[in-house]
Amino acid sequence: MTEKSLRVLIIGSGGREHALLKACKASPLVAAVAVAPGNGGMEQEAICYPLNVTDVHAIVALAKRLDANFVIVGPEAPLSVGAVDALVAEGIPVYGPNKAGALLEASKTFTKDFLMRHAIPTAWGKKFTSSEEAVEFLAAQKFPIVIKASGLAAGKGVIIAEDYDAACSAVYDMLDEKCFGNAGAEILIEEFMEGEEASIMLMVSEDKYVMLPASQDHKRVGDGDTGPNTGGMGAYAPAPVVTPEIEKAVVETIVEPTLKGLLADGIRYRGTLYVGIMITAEGPKVVEFNARFGDPECQVLLPLLKTDPVQLMYDCATGTLDPSKVEFRDGFNIIVVLAAQGYPSTPRKGDIISFPSKLPAGTAILHSGTEREDSGDIVTAGGRVLGVVAHGATLATAAQNAYALIEKIRFEGMHFRRDIGARQLKRDGV
């Protein structure tokens, strides 16, 4: 591929897509980049087009109108409705799995069947559509136990039930009260796994893959992992909790059997495979798969690549990936998410954000839920508003750099976790 040959369209509007945009802007391969729908921060760096990301026809029409020769799909929703299949049918290379591959995220029962069929370590699980049968099954189980809506529920469809009564009410809420709509029409009852969680993102081109450094997300809204679950309040990478031994076990028992299993099942996977693992006493086990980069994990992982991430994504999309050529940078990246008043339940919108005039080297402010007003002001427009990313030779310096920058950012109701990376910092003796 030659310099300045790619006209890229990025689909999505969060911090992950802002990180993808920055990678495109830094890539010598990219002649032009547009985003749809984007957000207030991305509008300052690229043209953003309005788009309903689950409207496959609109995605194809926009890619053709822009004469895009490479599309990067950020979020899961367009993947799960077949945006990639439609773009590929038009001859446009796309980074992101097709509809069949995206089922690894869109259907937890499909994934559980897949994992069990290919003998990949995971919690045992059993699927139900009848609350009567589910409750009868629960009567003979040990607690805690995990109840999951099978479909896409924006990260909210998982209940860890401490006892029989809590488990039964989760079952009734999902199957009878339809609290997650159709996403909970089928549920999974799953063994509770004890251990520490980590995420491993793979850039996959069917049988070939690049494994990015392990990362750790922080899903609860409050310090010390308290309060309700969110889309992710912060992350860091590399995560040393994934030791070389654990990484080897992940590759041998999870990654390679998964990629072989996909091919054996006729699924030609090209895009990110997000492997959420629990490090248990019996070794790493799969908690979940996602069919895309994590948000906010993507924001710390892309800048750790010395190799051009756009080149890697394009090579995955076109089947030309050469994993032996990939290089990483030293040091650690951290991201702290700044959330709006009321997040995660009912985030307030419209608060004006004030930014520092200059960014220190090795830091970035990525936008998630922001809008740009006609006045030029950037205002809050979503739950997760900004992500503050910082690099450091150690995790401790990365964290110091991020928190120092946060001091200079302000909006009414802004809240964030002050303990991103704390578990690892404690292990490091900081």
* In the complex, minimum distance from the CB of residue 294 to ligand GLY, in angstroms, rounded to a whole number: 4
Q: According to CB under 6 A, which one of 17, 173, 186, 217 is a site residue for ligand GLY?
A: 217
Residue 203 has which token pair? 């850039």
Nearest residue to ligand AMP on Cβ basis: 288
Using the rule CB under 6 A, is 17 a contact of ligand GLY? no
Using the rule CB under 6 A, is 232 a contact of ligand GLY? yes
Shorter beta-carbon distance to ligand AMP: residue 111 or 205: 111
- Where do contacts with ligand AMP occur on this chain (CB under 6 A)? 123, 146, 148, 155, 158, 160, 190-193, 197, 219, 276, 287-288
Residue 123 has which token pair? 């919690």
Choose among 227, 198, 228, 229: nearest CA to 214. Answer: 198
Helices 309-318 and 15-26: crossing angle in degrees, nearest 10, is 100
Tokens 């369209």, residue?
9
Q: Which residues have C-beta within 8 Å of that of residue 256, sequence separation ≥ 6? A: none
Please list, residue by residue across 282-317, b when 16 or more beta carbons sit within 10 angstroms of its beta carbon and e when fewer do: ebbbbbbbbbbbbbbbbbbbbbbbeebbbbbbbbbb
* In the complex, minimum distance from the CB of residue 293 to ligand GLY, in angstroms, rounded to a whole number: 7
Contact 161, 170 (CB under 8 A): yes
The entry of ligand AMP, ligand GLY, none that residue 206 binds, CB within 5 to 8 Å by partner kind:
none
* In the complex, minimum distance from the CB of residue 387 to ligand AMP, in angstroms, rounded to a whole number: 19
Please list, residue by residue across 36-68, b when 16 or more beta carbons sit within 10 angstroms of its beta carbon and e when fewer do: bebbbbbbebbebeebebeebebbbebbeebeb
Shorter beta-carbon distance to ligand AMP: residue 77 or 379: 77
The entry of ligand GLY, ligand AMP, none that residue 208 binds, CB within 5 to 8 Å by partner kind:
none
One-letter amino acid of 363: T
The entry of ligand GLY, ligand AMP, none that residue 232 binds, CB within 5 to 8 Å by partner kind:
ligand GLY
Of 270-299, binders to ligand GLY (CB under 6 A) are: 290, 294-295, 297
The entry of ligand AMP, ligand GLY, none that residue 146 binds, CB within 5 to 8 Å by partner kind:
ligand AMP
* In the complex, minimum distance from the CB of residue 254 to ligand AMP, in angstroms, rounded to a whole number: 15
* In the complex, minimum distance from the CB of residue 231 to ligand GLY, in angstroms, rounded to a whole number: 6
Gap between the Cα atoms of 277 and 283, Å rounded: 10
Using the rule CB under 6 A, is 184 a contact of ligand GLY? no
Shorter beta-carbon distance to ligand AMP: residue 3 or 163: 163
Q: ω before 78 within 30° of 0 (cis)? A: no
One-letter amino acid of 165: D
Contact 113, 186 (CB under 8 A): no
* In the complex, minimum distance from the CB of residue 109 to ligand AMP, in angstroms, rounded to a whole number: 12
* In the complex, minimum distance from the CB of residue 26 to ligand AMP, in angstroms, rounded to a whole number: 31
One-letter amino acid of 268: R
Residue 362 Ramachandran class (φ > 0 left, ψ -120 to 50 alpha, else beta) = left
* In the complex, minimum distance from the CB of residue 168 to ligand GLY, in angstroms, rounded to a whole number: 28
**Helix, strand, or coil (residue 313):** helix
Contact 128, 303 (CB under 8 A): no
* In the complex, minimum distance from the CB of residue 50 to ligand AMP, in angstroms, rounded to a whole number: 30
Residue 181 Ramachandran class (φ > 0 left, ψ -120 to 50 alpha, else beta) = left
Nearest residue to ligand GLY on Cβ basis: 232
The entry of ligand AMP, ligand GLY, none that residue 158 binds, CB within 5 to 8 Å by partner kind:
ligand AMP
Shorter beta-carbon distance to ligand GLY: residue 12 or 82: 12
Number of residues forming the site for ligand GLY (CB under 6 A): 6
Q: Which residues pair with 364 in a beta bridge?
A: 389
Residues that bind ligand GLY (CB under 6 A): 217, 232, 290, 294-295, 297
